[in-house]
Structure 1
Amino acid sequence: MSHMNGYVQEASGQAKSHRERAVDCPGDESSLVKSPHSSAHMERIQHYQEELKKRREEDSRGKHDIDPNASLRLKKLSQNPKVGIDNPTFEGKEKVTKDAFLQDPVAELAELLQALKWAHHCLTDAQSQQDVELIMQLLAKEDFKNAYAIYIAVSQQMTSVIPTSPLTAQAEDLCQKVQKILQSSQHQEGLELNALLTNPHLQAHGSVAGQEIAEESLTQYIGETVKLVRLEKARDTPLGATVRNDMDSVLVSRVVKGGAAEKSGLLTEGDEILEINGTSIRGKHVNEVHDLLQQMQGTLTFLLIPSSQIKPAPHRQTVMHVRAYFDYDPSDDPFVPCRELGLSFQKGDILHVISQDDPNWWQAYRDGDEDNQPLAGLIPGKSFQQQRETLKKTITDRSPEHQGRLWYAKKNKRQKKKSTTTLSRNIDDDILTYEEMSLYHQPANRKRPIGLIGPTNSGHDELRRRLLSIEPEKFAVAVPHTTRTSRTHERNGREYHFVSRPGFETDLTAGKFIESGEYEKNLYGTSTDSARHVINSGRICMLCLHTRSLQVLRSSNLKPYVIFIAPPSQERLRSLLASDGKTPKPEELKEVIEKAREMEQNFGHFFDATIVNMDPDQAFHELRRLIDKLDTEPQWVPTSWLC
């Protein structure tokens, strides 16, 4: 998608809000305002570039000159001209080293022959004398003298001028070309050279050299620091940086995770780009930078003025996994810095946040999209999203027509509170953005409770009864509590836990009931202790939930897995209910579907999975598949559950 992106500053008198634009994507250029050029600043930058060019040429010429100060031994010899081959005093013999003879290989051979002649006279063993004579004959040959002169010349270059960086980044390409030429060669030298070029150690050295050549180089002059950076722009790997106009400057605005710029670590936010591959960028608009980079591939050489901002100490980025509790579409967000980099997601999606350097705009991947999405996308930061949702809610609440609706809502809420006995917090009052998540694999002996939730006549209660009847040894329900008196055939702890009304109300106030209600002046409820008793027995606790039970269940340490059973279309729902002998009215069918839509809208972020009950058998098999998956695959749960 985007290799490098534009960050546009709108200007009309004063600077307005910024917007980044992906350079590789076409856009409406009429809305982009070019900044005026500063000729004085431009001449200053050109002067810097000319100075840098001169220094490069001087450095290139200086590479082939031997600096006596580079070697302590050469420095001592240069200070004492009497010490050398022509005047080998005793003190000089101790100081003369290989560096002293780099300029005269013939003289070095002459001294070596002289030493061999002296050794020949001192030897009494005939075999040793014969060996020395053979060596002297070899040294006297013209071919040997020429070969030795070549060796000295090469040694001089290698020892006196050691390159600080690789000479080329195309070593691997050159190696492959030479190997193709040598494929048809039958000469011994060609075979040996081919064996050297295919050596894995040499190939590894070439790879390391290729990385080293991309390292940044700093040059200090005229009070400014100019940075040269080389990056490889491959077709399948985006560059991953954004830029913005600041007057006539082009600055790096954002480094996006997953791109070549981020992996190299050579581009920094706030760096000013002067040149790209020798083309001046100063004074260009981001649209022109877009057109320029569209035509460039391979090695990109940036001439930069590093950012003057104080950089924080580098720290290891840790990935934070969150579940989104709202839908987000960057195309509808006027505040997103770069619409092309915006990452859309839906309520309930798992997002891998890999950078929070910008607290307002995090960089993230959707779960499962890492392989198909090379660059990270931008999503609103948690605090930023909460602030604007709060502002939106405040503006809405202050509107006259909403104030009327809000008054009636409060009145209805008070009336409802009198008729319910369930202790639950109104979670709609919270502004939900993200919740941190972690992977959890349920233990074999402690199964997660399964909570089925859905509107009346959606089929969730029928699915629970079917599971309990088929495998009672695997599935069970929590024994409920009640304040009514037991009947003759009932036993305490089997059909119900029979408790007093004061005791029930005390536990209700303490939040020990997942759900509760009153029927014919008797209280009924399912407690967390009853559900925990089923879990401790190794069975799976099946629960049919009301929406007001979700918060209590999630606040416990039971780690529930909640499945929403959604009704099908109105006509299909009528057909299913008719097969069970029910004849609902059209308005009743419509109410079921509307209730399901409302539940999903308000509580869908708490659902781990959804089953649309189009067919009872298919829905049952899908339910079994989801439950069995908990034994084989880890699931995302709130991190707070694992603390």
Structure 2
Amino acid sequence: MITSHMNGYVHEASVHAKSHNERAVDCPGEQSSLVKSPHCVAHMERIQHYQEELRKKREEDSRGKHDIDPNASLRLKKLSQNPKLGIDNPTFEGKENTTKDTSSQDHVTVEELLQAMKWVQQCLTDSQSQQDVELIMQLLAKQDFRNAYSIYTAVSQQMSRVSPTSPLTAQAQDLCREVQKILQSNQQKEGLELKALLTNPHLQALMQVHDSVAGQEMAEENVTQYLGETVKLVRLEKARDTPLGATVRNDVDSVVVSRVVKGGAAERSGLLSEGDEILEINGISIRGKHINEVHDLLQQMHGTLTFLLIPSSQIKPAPHRHTVMHVRAYFDYDPSDDPFVPCRELGLSFQKGDILHVISQDDPNWWQAYRDGDEDNQPLAGLIPGKSFQQQRESLKKTITDKSREPQVKHWYAKKSKKQRKKSTSNFSKNTDYDDILTYEEMSLYHQPANRKRPVALIGPTNCGHDELRRRLLSIEPEMFAVAVPHTTRNPRIHERNGREYHFVSRSAFETDLTAGKFIESGEYEKNLYGTSTDSVRHIVNSGRICLLCLHTRSLRVLRSSNLKPYVIFIAPPSQERLRTLLATESKTPKPEELKEIIEKAREMERNFGHFFDATIVNMDPEQAFHELRRLIDKLDTEPQWVPTSWLC
């Protein structure tokens, strides 16, 4: 696949599994003139011809509404004759010497109002009505009122008769924001007044409505024929800091829109669709050009972009709202190492455990998503592998890896019968179970209730310090933290009471509960069974305290499948030298191979079970690790946390 990208406008060709020829070039930050080419002038004239025809058609349709006589007002006449203001209305042409002053017909003068009030006063008989009319006449006689009425007359006459034939922009809100940024440091009276005006909610709502209506007005303008094809002419306003957000591919001699990316101007306008063929951009012919040539053209284009398109023949589905799906990634992804990504510049890199906000699954193979926390710094959505597509790739990779590990020994076999060959094929398809391959898990935000704390599970290899951290929490705040009372099949000792040190049960009862999946973890020691049940943990949770658990990693699946909503913290060991120092303070003298084994065990835990960890603490210093543990636990009360959506069903 050959792809290119420039500040949201990405070029995309058909996928090739082994190589990419890609580059990313941003659009210039400042306005620049359009790119010139030997054929630019001819194409520009053709586009201008189309625009002129459309303008004339609009004028004919609205001539009855917008006929304006500049002589109807001296102010309008001066405006129309002022070259600096540049009022360009075709209805002005040819009317200057053929019309007469009609201002007296359009607007009633103050003198006419006074005459009317005098006539009314003569017709009225009661004294109260006479007084009311006299007050009105006094108001009409005041100079302030006359001045205000003159301004009203001029403005209303201009507003009622002068209006543009089409919107000048659909980015009024963006322009307001730009002006607000400029005025941030301005302390002059006029600047402060303008800033207050632009931040007024009513004006902001007006700008929003204006952009909505203008966007519809500036939408598709159909042009009849071009080179024998029915085409459409669309205009997109490319703001300085807003990416266009579309991908294109080469299809023989054509340049076709391949993908509309969420977050760009193209997606918000709704004017570009997948499958549209681009004929011209700002009058420059595109057909026959390679996507790299299109890249070079668009690199320098800015502002209003005019596209001449052949609409896609595909049936467009009815528009619908996309529901954002939040997922946790269970694998690392780097688009620079992926030969299958349609457009490498749009690929979104992430690591195992990251939360991704998937905003489009229109392409089942390549979802569009944002990484949690990067929405403000990521104007365009990025491409990530779809769940099914990634599962297929991981399954294929696993199959190839397993085959490569098989001993390369030649064996002589008798020729298999058709029945045997059919059996082998069916077994292969049966073993392809994509559901066992972890890719993404749907997540939702959850805030724990004040009276139902989530159990905290501390995970880590031996001698990493998780047992010491649990004991310290229990000793400092026993009213807040507690441990679940375990079950055992051994007989109680003299000082032990059932339900305090242990739940003493028979072996048959223990094994029955074990078969029913009621134990988070269990084991046998000196022919006696021991285990921690979900009911014991639930008892602590229901009491309003936090249940502290130190578990083996193999117990995490059982714990997560319960309805306890655990919060799992991995306590990781520091470097080998630092670990030796920490253990020495506890009068422990492990051998170098033992230290290495602890670190290797921690890496194995992270590799195999890291997707289950909600947080990680590297135990460089016991005091710092304890304070970090308290901070994470306290955060459960103050901030919502991402949990599997299945927990909330």
TM-score computed with the length of structure 1 as normaliser: 0.72
Aligned-residue offset at 1:462: 1.0
The structure-2 alpha-carbon separation of the partners of 1:65 and 1:463, relative to structure 1 and needing over 3 Å to count, comes to: closer
C-alpha contact 1:23 1:286 (8 A) present in aligned 2: no
Residue 550 of structure 2 aligns with an amino acid whose one-letter code is C
The structure-2 alpha-carbon separation of the partners of 1:403 and 1:202, relative to structure 1 and needing over 3 Å to count, comes to: same
Aligned-residue offset at 1:313: 1.2
Residue 497 of structure 1 aligns with an amino acid whose one-letter code is H
Q: 1:452 aligns with which of 451, 454, 458?
A: 458
Aligned-residue offset at 1:531: 0.6
1:325 matched to 2:367: no
1:52 matched to 2:50: yes
Q: 2:393 aligns to what SS in structure 1?
A: helix
Residues 112-131 of structure 1 mapped to structure 2, 5 A cutoff = none
Residues 112-511 of structure 1 mapped to structure 2, 5 A cutoff = 165-166=166-167, 208-209=209-210, 212-214=213-215, 215-222=218-225, 224-401=229-406, 430-511=436-517
Distance in 2 (alpha carbons) for counterparts of 1:378 and 1:170: 27
1:591 matched to 2:605: no
Distance in 1 (alpha carbons) for counterparts of 2:203 and 2:588: 80
Residue 221 of structure 2 aligns with an amino acid whose one-letter code is L
Residue 217 of structure 1 aligns with an amino acid whose one-letter code is E
The structure-2 alpha-carbon separation of the partners of 1:290 and 1:542, relative to structure 1 and needing over 3 Å to count, comes to: same
The residue number in structure 1 matching 2:421 is none
C-alpha contact 1:353 1:364 (8 A) present in aligned 2: yes
1:536 matched to 2:542: yes
The residue number in structure 2 matching 1:617 is 623
Distance in 1 (alpha carbons) for counterparts of 2:230 and 2:435: 54
C-alpha contact 1:233 1:239 (8 A) present in aligned 2: yes
Distance in 1 (alpha carbons) for counterparts of 2:513 and 2:408: 37
Distance in 2 (alpha carbons) for counterparts of 1:582 and 1:16: 54
Distance in 1 (alpha carbons) for counterparts of 2:626 and 2:434: 31
The structure-2 alpha-carbon separation of the partners of 1:363 and 1:171, relative to structure 1 and needing over 3 Å to count, comes to: closer
The structure-2 alpha-carbon separation of the partners of 1:226 and 1:46, relative to structure 1 and needing over 3 Å to count, comes to: farther
1:505-527 alpha-carbon deviations (Å, 9 max, x no partner): 11111110010000000000000
1:553-612 alpha-carbon deviations (Å, 9 max, x no partner): 000000000000111111111111111111111111111000000000000000001111
Aligned-residue offset at 1:226: 2.4
C-alpha contact 2:19 2:339 (8 A) present in aligned 1: no
The residue number in structure 2 matching 1:638 is 644
C-alpha contact 2:279 2:310 (8 A) present in aligned 1: yes
Bigger mean CA offset, 249-258 vs 199-208: 199-208
Residue 389 of structure 1 aligns with an amino acid whose one-letter code is E
C-alpha contact 2:11 2:295 (8 A) present in aligned 1: yes
1:351-384 alpha-carbon deviations (Å, 9 max, x no partner): 1111111110111111111111111111100000
The structure-2 alpha-carbon separation of the partners of 1:21 and 1:227, relative to structure 1 and needing over 3 Å to count, comes to: farther
The structure-2 alpha-carbon separation of the partners of 1:169 and 1:469, relative to structure 1 and needing over 3 Å to count, comes to: closer
C-alpha contact 1:274 1:282 (8 A) present in aligned 2: yes
Aligned-residue offset at 1:203: 8.6
Residue 242 of structure 1 aligns with an amino acid whose one-letter code is T
Distance in 2 (alpha carbons) for counterparts of 1:312 and 1:225: 21
Distance in 2 (alpha carbons) for counterparts of 1:506 and 1:547: 23
1:551 matched to 2:551: no
Distance in 2 (alpha carbons) for counterparts of 1:230 and 1:474: 63
1:190-230 alpha-carbon deviations (Å, 9 max, x no partner): xxxx9xx9998889767755554443133252474422222
Distance in 1 (alpha carbons) for counterparts of 2:537 and 2:500: 13
The structure-2 alpha-carbon separation of the partners of 1:49 and 1:506, relative to structure 1 and needing over 3 Å to count, comes to: same
Aligned-residue offset at 1:295: 1.2
- Based on CA coordinates, which of the two structures has the bigger radius of gyration? 1
The structure-2 alpha-carbon separation of the partners of 1:316 and 1:22, relative to structure 1 and needing over 3 Å to count, comes to: farther
C-alpha contact 1:428 1:602 (8 A) present in aligned 2: no
The structure-2 alpha-carbon separation of the partners of 1:496 and 1:157, relative to structure 1 and needing over 3 Å to count, comes to: closer
- Compute the RMSD of aligned alpha carbons: 4.4
C-alpha contact 1:231 1:301 (8 A) present in aligned 2: yes
Bigger mean CA offset, 342-351 vs 294-303: 294-303
Residue 383 of structure 1 aligns with an amino acid whose one-letter code is S
Aligned-residue offset at 1:536: 0.8
Residue 448 of structure 2 aligns with an amino acid whose one-letter code is Q
Q: 2:13 aligns to what SS in structure 1?
A: strand
The structure-2 alpha-carbon separation of the partners of 1:305 and 1:485, relative to structure 1 and needing over 3 Å to count, comes to: same
Residue 235 of structure 2 aligns with an amino acid whose one-letter code is R
Residues 513-532 of structure 1 mapped to structure 2, 5 A cutoff = 513-532=519-538
Q: 2:548 aligns to what SS in structure 1?
A: strand
Any stretches of 5+ residues in structure 2 without a counterpart? 1-5, 28-42, 66-97, 125-152, 180-193, 410-432
Q: 1:304 aligns to what SS in structure 2?
A: strand
C-alpha contact 1:448 1:541 (8 A) present in aligned 2: yes
The structure-2 alpha-carbon separation of the partners of 1:23 and 1:626, relative to structure 1 and needing over 3 Å to count, comes to: closer
Distance in 2 (alpha carbons) for counterparts of 1:237 and 1:630: 37
Distance in 1 (alpha carbons) for counterparts of 2:628 and 2:594: 27
C-alpha contact 2:10 2:248 (8 A) present in aligned 1: yes
Distance in 1 (alpha carbons) for counterparts of 2:243 and 2:121: 74
The structure-2 alpha-carbon separation of the partners of 1:227 and 1:157, relative to structure 1 and needing over 3 Å to count, comes to: farther
C-alpha contact 2:459 2:550 (8 A) present in aligned 1: yes
C-alpha contact 1:22 1:338 (8 A) present in aligned 2: no
Distance in 2 (alpha carbons) for counterparts of 1:320 and 1:402: 44
Bigger mean CA offset, 546-555 vs 242-251: 242-251
Matched residue count: 526
C-alpha contact 1:19 1:337 (8 A) present in aligned 2: no
Aligned-residue offset at 1:289: 1.6
Distance in 2 (alpha carbons) for counterparts of 1:614 and 1:444: 32
Q: 1:386 aligns to what SS in structure 2?
A: helix
Percent of residue pairs bearing the same amino acid type: 75
Residues 96-111 of structure 1 mapped to structure 2, 5 A cutoff = none
Aligned-residue offset at 1:399: 2.4
Residue 294 of structure 1 aligns with an amino acid whose one-letter code is Q
Residue 635 of structure 1 aligns with an amino acid whose one-letter code is Q
The structure-2 alpha-carbon separation of the partners of 1:125 and 1:493, relative to structure 1 and needing over 3 Å to count, comes to: closer
Distance in 2 (alpha carbons) for counterparts of 1:592 and 1:125: 105
TM-score computed with the length of structure 2 as normaliser: 0.71
Any stretches of 5+ residues in structure 1 without a counterpart? 27-44, 68-101, 129-150, 177-193, 405-426
Residue 548 of structure 2 aligns with an amino acid whose one-letter code is M
The residue number in structure 2 matching 1:412 is none
Distance in 2 (alpha carbons) for counterparts of 1:378 and 1:245: 20
Distance in 2 (alpha carbons) for counterparts of 1:462 and 1:333: 44
Distance in 2 (alpha carbons) for counterparts of 1:198 and 1:572: 59
Residue 55 of structure 1 aligns with an amino acid whose one-letter code is E
Bigger mean CA offset, 1-10 vs 497-506: 1-10
C-alpha contact 2:329 2:355 (8 A) present in aligned 1: yes
Distance in 2 (alpha carbons) for counterparts of 1:513 and 1:434: 27
The residue number in structure 1 matching 2:9 is 4
Q: 2:606 aligns with which of 586, 600, 604?
A: 600
Aligned-residue offset at 1:47: 12
Distance in 2 (alpha carbons) for counterparts of 1:319 and 1:569: 41
Q: 1:374 aligns to what SS in structure 2?
A: coil
